[in-house]
């Protein structure tokens, strides 16, 4: 039978509930338990796919093609939980389902209301998460986005309160993650906001069993622990101090020291042997011990949000672990290359260049110039999704002489649409959930860099894009531009080009898919790993490494 951990947030948003859930999941898995993970998001968007990643953070894609909240990326990197479209639900998605049922007449005669109809739908999503799992799930960890006290979170919290009664109180526990701020004038960590937020939770009928206190750079002392325990009616051992910890992957080890897993398992009454964390600990030591540094330029539109490319940033951390080096990823604005600044100048101190995913026209010509610079100067190049499309355009323009070659996304009138919409995308009007999404099979060509990186003939990687390589340009690009197609998705009459490389270059590889979504610290993604390795080689050649 599955038991449940529900995680709520208190005092402010962005307290790191996602990492707390992911860390707990990792600790429970280490003890041999099978876990499932899920997040509820209180916004009205049906999914985050249409939201601006520069405001909301990246959109994380699952194998089955769901566009989900970036916290699922943390779950993926810390645990082996299977993530799917069942792992994320929003207020918009819940209401959408209820309204569709209402239209079909499934509530005939009834007034449809938040309680019980919306709360029932929320509860059914929790049950669906584990309903047809291949193996029995021991613990499902369910995170509620937002902060207790928000109007938007109320139906979710009410549903959890009911769920606890439905399955019997010993079968679930509530973890509340709050901020305990340091007030300099008093020279103290203050527990009052946490007390208030627990009071707000109790008003809804939920008593937290564990409180994780985020304390910034301060460490919580025994007095404050006792105070939170007493005022919030929680046992001392269930107060977990969570100061800022770097690297990120050391966070579960801090929780382990405080026996978070023991406390949760005691509350859920699950006996489990102590786990073996030596593999994880060794990974953290390797990460901390890296001495060499490699500098990578991420060329693109300016981003003011660290989380906009969260999975890419983390995949580079993982690639650093695999190469025993620190990867210094630095943002380089591509628009400057459209205003007279030469890539050779701005990029001269970098060992590798990456052009990542993107939408829209801003900074596009600058990205193409950056590709040209890396190709001609033999600087390792890694293109991800839009970064692959830019590489194809660059080759067509500068090696085939098709000066106006472009993607029809950017220039619908281009005479040489080397990147274009496939017929199945042409009739689509709705923008939500209609891209090419999720995992596709990709066959690799022996003798290529991609094949060497993966060490496999067939792989699966996740997609999120609308436009594709135009096969009408395949032969000329291969014959006259040095293009190598190293990965394709077989599709009968027309295979889709998924990975390209160029000849006579130390490392130039670009994928139409998003390899970052599958990278984890224990299993660094092969293309990221080899790109960083090639960049390290270059740093040695140029005397920087
Ligand atoms: N805008 C491009 C497309 O839709 C690339 C998308 C991406 O980089 N994720 O095909």
Domain ranges of the chain: 3-281, 290-420+468-485+495-541
SS3 letters across 166-224: HHCHHHEEEEEEEECCEECCCCEECCHHHHHHHHHHHHCCCCCCEEEEECCCCCCCHHH
Do residues 442 and 453 lie in contact, with contact meaning Cβ atoms separated by under 8 Å? no
Long-range contacts of 538-544 (CB under 8 A, 24+ apart): 538/351, 538/352, 538/379, 538/380, 538/506, 539/292, 539/294, 539/295, 539/351, 542/351, 544/295, 544/349, 544/351
* pLDDT at site 373: 97
- How far are the Cα atoms of 346, 419, 448, 539 from residue 476, in angstroms, in the given order? 32, 14, 19, 34
Nearest CA owner, ligand 1 atom 6: 465
| Share above pLDDT 90 across residues of the chain, in percent, rounded to a whole number | 87
Nearest CA owner, ligand 1 atom 8: 357
Cα 79 to middle of ligand 1, angstroms: 28
Cα 435 to middle of ligand 1, angstroms: 9
Mean pLDDT of 247-259: 97
Cα 506 to middle of ligand 1, angstroms: 26
Q: Which atom of ligand 1 is nearest to the CA of 360?
A: 1
- Dihedral of the alpha carbons of 387, 391, 394, 399, in degrees to the nearest 10: 180
Share in percent of the chain as helix, strand, coil (round to 5) = 45, 20, 35
* pLDDT at site 292: 94
Q: Does domain 3-281 have CATH number 3.40.50.300?
A: yes
Nearest CA owner, ligand 1 atom 5: 386
* pLDDT at site 53: 83
Cα 342 to middle of ligand 1, angstroms: 26
Reported as a pLDDT band with limits 50, 70 and 90, residue 244 is very high
Options 3.40.50.880, 3.30.930.10, 3.40.390.30, 1.10.3720.10; which CATH number does 290-420+468-485+495-541 get? Answer: 3.40.50.880
Kindly report, residue by residue over 39-56, the tens digit of the pLDDT: 999 999 998 888 888 888
- Look-up of token digits 């890419």: 312
Kindly report, residue by residue over 366-420, the tens digit of the pLDDT: 999 999 999 999 999 999 999 999 999 999 999 999 999 999 999 999 999 999 9
Pairing relationship of beta strands 496-502 and 508-511 according to DSSP bridges: antiparallel
Long-range contacts of 229-238 (CB under 8 A, 24+ apart): 231/191, 231/195, 231/198, 232/194, 232/195, 232/198, 232/208, 233/207, 234/208, 234/209, 234/210, 237/262, 237/263, 238/209, 238/210, 238/211, 238/263, 238/267
* pLDDT at site 395: 97
The reply to whether 385 belongs to the active site is yes
516 CB under 6 A from ligand 1?
Answer: no
Distance CA 519, CA 458 (A): 17
Domains 3-281 and 290-420+468-485+495-541 share a fold: yes
Q: Which of 143, 314, 498, 516 is catalytic?
A: 516
Distance CA 334, CA 332 (A): 6
Q: Which of 385, 420, 442, 509 is catalytic?
A: 385
Cα 158 to middle of ligand 1, angstroms: 39
Cis peptide, bond prior to residue 116, ω within 30 of zero: yes
Do residues 419 and 510 lie in contact, with contact meaning Cβ atoms separated by under 8 Å? no
261 CB under 6 A from ligand 1?
Answer: no
40 CB under 6 A from ligand 1?
Answer: no
* pLDDT at site 172: 96
SS3 letters across 91-118: HHHHHHHHHHHHHHCCCCCCCCCHHHHH
Tokens for 293, please give them: 């540094």
Nearest CA owner, ligand 1 atom 1: 359
Which residue of 303, 363, 466, 515 sits with most ligand 1 atoms within 8 Å of its CB, as the best mutation to test the pocket? 466
Closest CA to 275 of 288, 260, 294: 260
Kindly report, residue by residue over 481-516, the tens digit of the pLDDT: 999 999 999 988 789 999 999 999 999 999 999 999
Kindly report, residue by residue over 430-479, the tens digit of the pLDDT: 777 788 999 999 999 999 999 999 999 999 999 999 999 999 999 999 99
Cα 219 to middle of ligand 1, angstroms: 44
Distance CA 96, CA 284 (A): 43
Mean pLDDT of 10-29: 94
Q: Would you call 152 exposed, middle or buried from its count of C-beta atoms within 10 A (0-12, 13-18, 19+)? A: middle
pTM: 0.95
* pLDDT at site 32: 97
* pLDDT at site 492: 81
- Look-up of token digits 């990460």: 287
Q: Would you call 446 exposed, middle or buried from its count of C-beta atoms within 10 A (0-12, 13-18, 19+)? A: exposed
386 CB under 6 A from ligand 1?
Answer: yes
Residue 41 Rama label (left phi>0; alpha psi -120 to 50; beta): beta
The reply to whether 514 belongs to the active site is yes
74 CB under 6 A from ligand 1?
Answer: no
Cα 81 to middle of ligand 1, angstroms: 28
What Rg do the C-alpha atoms of the chain give, in angstroms? 25
Tokens for 35, please give them: 């876990």
Which DSSP symbol is given to 52?
-
* pLDDT at site 13: 84
Reported as a pLDDT band with limits 50, 70 and 90, residue 544 is confident
The average confidence (pLDDT) of the chain is 94
Q: Which residues of 497-512 are buried (b: 16+ CB within 10 A; e: fewer)?
A: bbbbbbeebebbbbbb
* pLDDT at site 545: 65
358 CB under 6 A from ligand 1?
Answer: yes
Which residue of 356, 363, 465 sits with most ligand 1 atoms within 8 Å of its CB, as the best mutation to test the pocket? 465
- Look-up of token digits 């590709």: 371
Do residues 1 and 29 lie in contact, with contact meaning Cβ atoms separated by under 8 Å? no
Distance CA 128, CA 55 (A): 30
Distance CA 237, CA 376 (A): 60
Please list, in sequence order, all residues whose beta carbon lies within 8 angstroms of the beta carbon of residue 24, skipping any fewer than 6 positions away.
5, 141, 175, 252, 255, 260, 261, 264
Q: Which atom of ligand 1 is nearest to the CA of 464?
A: 9
Cα 510 to middle of ligand 1, angstroms: 13
357 CB under 6 A from ligand 1?
Answer: yes
| Share above pLDDT 70 across residues of the chain, in percent, rounded to a whole number | 100
Mean pLDDT of 229-238: 94
Q: Which atom of ligand 1 is nearest to the CA of 358?
A: 8
The reply to whether 505 belongs to the active site is no
Q: Pick the residue with more confidence: 538 or 306?
A: 538
For 385, other C-beta atoms within 10 Å of its C-beta total: 23
- Look-up of token digits 């992957």: 249
Which residue of 364, 431, 467, 469 sits with most ligand 1 atoms within 8 Å of its CB, as the best mutation to test the pocket? 467
385 CB under 6 A from ligand 1?
Answer: yes
* pLDDT at site 47: 87
Instruction: Please provide the DSSP assignment of 376-404 as one string.
Output: HTT--EEEETHHHHHHHHHHHHHTS--TT
Mean pLDDT of 86-109: 95
Q: Which atom of ligand 1 is nearest to the CA of 419?
A: 10
Cα 467 to middle of ligand 1, angstroms: 6
Closest CA to 144 of 309, 256, 311, 10: 10
Cα 403 to middle of ligand 1, angstroms: 22
515 CB under 6 A from ligand 1?
Answer: no
């Amino acid at each position: 039978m599955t038991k449940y951990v529900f995680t709520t947030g208190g005092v402010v948003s962005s307290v790191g509930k996602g990492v707390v859930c992911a860390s707990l999941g990792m600790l429970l898995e280490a003890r041999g338990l099978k876990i499932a993970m899920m997040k509820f998001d209180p916004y009205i968007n049906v999914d985050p796919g249409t939201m601006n990643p520069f405001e909301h953070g990246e959109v994380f894609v699952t194998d089955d093609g769901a566009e989900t909240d970036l916290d699922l990326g943390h779950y993926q990197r810390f645990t082996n939980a299977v993530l799917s479209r069942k792992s994320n639900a929003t207020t918009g998605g819940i209401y959408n389902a209820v309204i569709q049922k209402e239209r079909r007449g499934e509530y005939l005669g009834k007034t449809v209301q938040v309680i019980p109809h919306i709360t029932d739908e929320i509860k059914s999503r929790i049950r669906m998460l584990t309903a047809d799992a291949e193996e029995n799930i021991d613990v499902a960890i369910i995170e509620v986005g937002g902060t207790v006290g928000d109007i938007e979170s109320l139906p979710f919290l009410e549903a959890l309160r009911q769920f606890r009664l439905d399955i019997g109180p010993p079968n679930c526990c509530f973890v509340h993650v709050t901020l305990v701020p340091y007030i300099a004038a008093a020279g103290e960590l203050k527990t009052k906001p946490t007390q208030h937020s627990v009071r707000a939770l109790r008003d809804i009928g939920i008593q937290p069993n564990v409180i994780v206190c985020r304390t910034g750079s301060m460490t919580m002392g025994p007095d404050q622990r006792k105070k939170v325990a007493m005022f919030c009616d929680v046992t001392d051992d269930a107060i977990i101090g969570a100061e800022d910890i770097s690297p990120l992957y050391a966070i579960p080890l801090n929780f382990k020291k405080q026996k978070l897993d023991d406390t949760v398992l005691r509350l859920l009454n699950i006996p489990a042997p102590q786990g073996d964390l030596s593999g994880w600990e060794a990974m953290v030591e390797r990460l901390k011990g890296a001495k060499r540094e490699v500098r990578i330029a991420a060329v693109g539109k300016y981003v003011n949000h660290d989380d906009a490319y969260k999975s890419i940033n983390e995949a580079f951390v993982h690639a650093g672990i695999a190469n025993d080096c620190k990867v210094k990823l630095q943002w380089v604005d591509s628009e400057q290359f459209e205003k007279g600044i030469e890539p050779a100048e701005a990029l001269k101190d970098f060992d590798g260049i990456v052009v990542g995913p993107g939408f829209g026209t801003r900074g596009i010509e600058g990205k193409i110039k950056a590709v040209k610079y890396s190709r001609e100067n033999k600087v390792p190049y890694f293109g991800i999704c839009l970064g692959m499309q830019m590489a194809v355009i660059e080759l067509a323009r500068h090696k085939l002489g098709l000066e106006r070659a472009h993607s029809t996304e950017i220039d619908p009138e281009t005479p040489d649409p080397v990147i274009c919409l496939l017929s199945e995308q042409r009739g689509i009007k709705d923008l939500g959930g209609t891209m090419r999404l999720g995992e596709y099979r990709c066959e690799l060509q022996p003798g290529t860099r991609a094949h060497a990186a993966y060490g496999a003939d067939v792989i699966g990687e996740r997609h999120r894009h609308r436009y594709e390589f135009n096969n009408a340009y395949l032969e000329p690009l291969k014959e006259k531009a040095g293009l190598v197609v190293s990965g394709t998705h077989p599709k009968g009459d027309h295979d889709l080009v998924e990975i390209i490389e160029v000849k006579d270059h130390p490392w130039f590889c670009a994928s139409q898919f998003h390899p970052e979504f599958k990278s984890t610290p224990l299993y660094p993604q092969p293309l990221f790993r080899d790109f960083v390795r090639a960049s390290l080689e270059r740093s040695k050649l140029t005397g920087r490494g």
